[in-house]
Amino acid sequence: MDDPDQMVVEHAREKLLEYGDDIIPKLEHLEEDCFIDPNQLINISVVLDALRFQRIKNALKCWLKSDDKSLMQAVYTICSYQFPDLSIEDFTAKFQDLRHQCWMEMSSRQTSFEKVEALNKVFFDVFDFVRVNEVPHSPFDIFVNSVMESKEGTDISLGLIYSLVAQSLDIPIYGVTTMNNRAPFVLAYMDKDNLLPILDWGIDNNGVLFYIGVGTKGLIIDPQQLKEAYFSEGLPQNREQFEPSPNTLIVKKYLKDIKRSYSNQAQFRYKLKDIEELLELF
């Protein structure tokens, strides 16, 4: 990799790429030891980037073929694209304190509304998560692991954290999204206790008890309010706007938002091709 002949270097790159993921730790160790040779460092970095991306792409391919399509696993995989040193253990550990604090506020006697109040108290008052209003958004407002550190995020990054914590506590809160960039990312609390006939919202809401706006500090929105808000904004009134989205759609939307954040900042635009390649998997 430090040969002056570029053809030799290209041949070495191709051979190293054939080894796949297994060689990444060795290349990382070699990368640390080659600062005295800038050309070798560049060549090693190029191979490492290619191998890491291939690992991300393969992981998403496997995820798309899996039965459960764990949202936590997919979000971790995407975050590890920007943060290659992030382990799944470190990623999930970031959720543990938040989950524990929410669990401490929970009781089996609470109504669905009271459970959301408890989640909101921990999420927005204790941990002080806030929505970033400035646009264009930075990629670090979207990657969940960096949002867990800064406590500042977009609707989708905050919504992912909120829903993942809720689901880990067996609370039926799921993301609702479409590919329409104007439609907000909201959360749906599903009716598991057959309360809809009692509440009678006056609308066919596909089994959703109510919605939660993470961008408005967990404001509870009834189905009629959401439909009226979409109508006033000229948004489509199709079914997918009002019911929980499959994890594949949520992950695709997440990648689209990351792509948009990269395109808005010159230092990240070289990553756009990779994100487009990942989006093609969907």
**206 conformational bin, left if phi > 0, alpha if psi -120 to 50, beta if neither:** left
pLDDT at 161 over 90: yes
pLDDT given at position 227? 87
Q: How large a percentage of the chain has pLDDT more than 70?
A: 93
Name the least confident of 127-136, 198-207, 237-246. Answer: 198-207
pLDDT at 196 over 70: no
Name the least confident of 109-113, 177-181, 263-267. Answer: 177-181
Give the integer Cα–Cα distance in Å for 152 and 242.
Answer: 26
**Where does residue 226 rank: exposed (0-12), middle (13-18), buried (19+ CB within 10 A)?**
buried
pLDDT given at position 230? 87
Which of 106-126 are b and which e, b meaning 16 or more Cβ less than 10 Å from the residue's Cβ?
A: beeeeebeebbebbbebbbee
**Each residue of 181-191: pLDDT tens digit?**
888 899 999 98
pLDDT at 34 over 70: no
pLDDT at 225 over 70: yes
Statement: the pTM of the whole predicted model exceeds 0.85: yes
**Each residue of 80-133: pLDDT tens digit?**
999 999 999 999 999 999 999 999 999 989 999 999 999 999 999 999 999 998
Q: How large a percentage of the chain has pLDDT more than 90?
A: 63
Name the least confident of 54-58, 112-116, 187-191, 197-201. Answer: 197-201
pLDDT given at position 204? 61
Neighbours of 208 (CB within 10 A): 24
